[in-house]
Chains A and B, each alone.
Chain A
């Protein structure tokens, strides 16, 4: 795999290592120390850190500003960008701004519907969808052109990723949908949180049958459960999430004060099992407001120390 950008994440993949990423949600205010604190908890245990873009449609400090902060700390940010809040002008403009600060990774998403957030009465934009955003970034990078056709000076050298949800419906188009994202330009994929390993492995089988695992770098997404309550919430309330009953039963089987540790154990076991799944090239650990647990998960998952590239 030849490297096209200065992305550390891309170099990790190119060198044949498992990549490890995690993510931080920006604060609901202007306290950038919050970002700094979270990043410092995980920086030595991951290769890159995603910054979420107004996740669940709740207004927060912007992803781009938080990514710049990480960059100034000497870390490797992944700029998440949703198509919900910005039109094609704003998206292209933010891509240039990010690249100008040396942000080398982007994750293209459609974003949760605004009805989940703090402004359910707001408009959504969706001028582009996530696949079209992928195409736009690749066009800007590879052809040095704006969407409108004009040349741009010093193209943004972004390593471009997308999300994949192997568990959403309809299941039959889940592999074709990945193929479509790859065709649109996705160089890496971070999946939805995996709890149903059998279903994920079935999806990966379909992915391998079409050779798609060789055309993009698939990172398995994992979120440790903190409690039975969280597991039930994820199962029943989070769209597109597949939490099997066994996971809930397993958490219920231990005393309340030990559920968090059980959640970590499940996460670590998943990593160890998915390392055996051909085509999984890395792990994206989304420890939601639980960043301090990332080092333990990475270590016990046999993913440390992180390689120098």
Chain B
């Protein structure tokens, strides 16, 4: 899933302090699972804003909505009838949802209420970890299904670098060395001899380097 984290309330207030009516819009997908932008968080953020404006003695309308998905034009249409009543939308979907919202309503100011962080998963309650950077050319078959692009701080494809100590990365004792994990995994699979294969120079044009990416599937286009 896409993992996001709440923005500081002070930053959010800075975006919306001059508004008279605001729609706080959550999303029922990834950001609900990572507890940053679901229905519960919409309620908390809306309450915080109401309190802020009340303390300032201002009468500002704050409404709440949580869409099934903000990264989907169909679901975004659900607010088409009422959207003109607001002079700003505070979206706490991921960066994709926020932009789709803006694309759907070109005249409506849309502000982010979260920082979109990475593609990852819940390791334990309150702890989300990154597992994929969407490089567009998956290498997991060669690395025992541990991603060096994501999990090595230097994206080293022929690792580990000289900074790997007791299984940890040189940047922090709290970060596992991806290549220690890869070596352990290759060993567990009885494939340690694969370690010596030089990983070829990677084509990064399928990564961020190639500009905005698209997946086009003619077979599913109607």
A residues touching B (Cβ–Cβ < 8 Å)?
83-84, 88, 110-113, 115-116, 124, 126-132, 135-136, 147, 163-165, 168-170, 172-173, 176, 179-180, 183-184, 192, 239-240
Contacts and interface: CB of A to CB of B under 8 A. Distances in A.
Given A113-B171, A132-B201, A135-B198, A170 B164 contact: yes
A207 to B, nearest CB: 14
9 contacts: A112-B170, A127-B204, A132-B201, A169-B165, A169-B177, A169-B180, A172-B183, A179-B196, A239-B165
B154 A113 contact: yes
B153 A113 contact: yes
B161 interface: yes
B196 A176 contact: yes
B201 to A, nearest CB: 5
Interface of B: 153-167, 170-171, 177, 180, 183-184, 192, 195-196, 198-201, 204
A129 B196 contact: no
Contacts of A88: 201
Given A129-B154, A130-B161, A136-B201, 7 more contacts: A115-B153, A124-B153, A129-B159, A170-B180, A173-B192, A176-B195, A184-B198
Given A115-B171, A239-B165, A240-B164, A147 B201 contact: yes
Contacts, number: 95
B154 A84 contact: yes
Contacts of B198: 131, 135, 180, 183-184
Nearest to A180: B196
A83 B180 CA distance: 21
Nearest to B200: A132
B152 to A, nearest CB: 9
Contacts of B199: 131-132
Contacts of B157: 129, 132
B167 A169 contact: yes
A147 B156 CA distance: 18
A202 B170 CA distance: 24
A107 to B, nearest CB: 13
Contacts of A113: 153-154, 163, 170-171
A124 B154 contact: yes
B154 A126 contact: yes
B156 A110 contact: yes
Contact of B201 (A128, A164, A165, A239): A128
A200 to B, nearest CB: 14
Contacts of B166: 169
Nearest to B162: A165
Best-buried of B162, B199, B204 by chain A (most CB within 10 Å): B162
Nearest to A111: B154
B195 A173 contact: yes
Given A113-B153, A124-B154, A240 B170 contact: yes
A172 B196 CA distance: 12
B170 A239 contact: yes
Contacts of A240: 162-165, 170
Nearest to B187: A172
A175 to B, nearest CB: 10
A3 B170 CA distance: 37
A132 B161 CA distance: 13
A192 B163 CA distance: 11
Contacts of B177: 169
B37 to A, nearest CB: 26
A131 to B, nearest CB: 4
Contacts of A168: 160-165
A183 B200 CA distance: 12
A25 B28 CA distance: 54
A308 to B, nearest CB: 34
Given A112-B170, A183-B198, A240-B170, A173 B163 contact: no
Contacts of A179: 196
Contacts of A180: 158, 195-196, 198
A183 B153 CA distance: 24
Contacts of B180: 169-170
A128 B201 CA distance: 7
A280 to B, nearest CB: 19
Contacts of A173: 160, 183, 192, 195
Nearest to B177: A169
Contacts of B159: 129
Contacts of B196: 176, 179-180, 183
